[in-house]
Amino acid sequence: MWAFSLFGNHSEEDKFIDFKLEDSLGLDPDTKANIYELEKELGEFQNASEGQVSSDGKSISPKEGEGLYYLTWMAITVPKE
């Protein structure tokens, strides 16, 4: 789980905040991931994007054209197969 300073800021409507994280979770290359963000007003996690570990296993990024809307808390999970 990650927390952002400037807590609660958000992107413009219909735009997302793109990002790339170092794969500090040790996930295998090309692993699919679910990216969640804390919705500030409701105080609940919501699915923000699908993501994937890079082919070299060094980073995790959201699906192209997706990302975060809120800079609050972010969590990453791996779907059960």
Predicted TM-score (pTM) of this structure: 0.82
Instruction: Work out how many domains the chain is built from and give that number.
Output: 1
For 17-60, write each residue's pLDDT tens digit. Answer: 888 999 999 999 999 999 999 988 888 999 999 999 999 999 99
Torsional class of 72: left (φ above 0), alpha (ψ -120 to 50), beta (otherwise): alpha
- Cβ–Cβ under 8 Å, residues 49 and 68: yes
Query: Which residues span the domain enclosing 16?
Result: 2-77
